[in-house]
């Protein structure tokens, strides 16, 4: 563990580089997780599935617009 700590401190002496690395890592992990969920939904595996109401598939985009609308008026 000491070796990893030394390597980390060596490469991230500059705080800006460390923040950039952590933000990139967070983005890539989130992208990978969401992509994995999408693949499992399309393949029909796992606990995830398409959401439908009355035979019509529910999409996240309209819900995002509705939930985001109140915040847009505060700008």
Question: Mean of the pLDDT values across residues 66-72?
Answer: 63
Token duo for residue 19: 């923040």
Helices (H), 1-75: 2-11, 15-43, 60-72
Q: Give the integer Cα–Cα distance in Å for 52 and 72.
A: 28
| Per-residue pLDDT at 46 | 84
| Per-residue pLDDT at 24 | 96
Q: Give the integer Cα–Cα distance in Å for 62 and 18.
A: 36
């Amino acid at each position: 563990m000491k070796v990893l700590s030394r390597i980390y401190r060596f490469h991230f002496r500059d705080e800006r580089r460390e923040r950039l690395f952590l933000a990139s890592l967070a983005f890539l992990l989130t992208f990978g997780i969401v992509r994995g969920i999408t693949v499992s939904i399309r393949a029909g595996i796992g606990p995830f599935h398409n959401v439908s109401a009355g035979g019509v598939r529910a999409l996240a985009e309209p819900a995002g617009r509705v939930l985001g609308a109140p915040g847009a008026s505060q700008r």
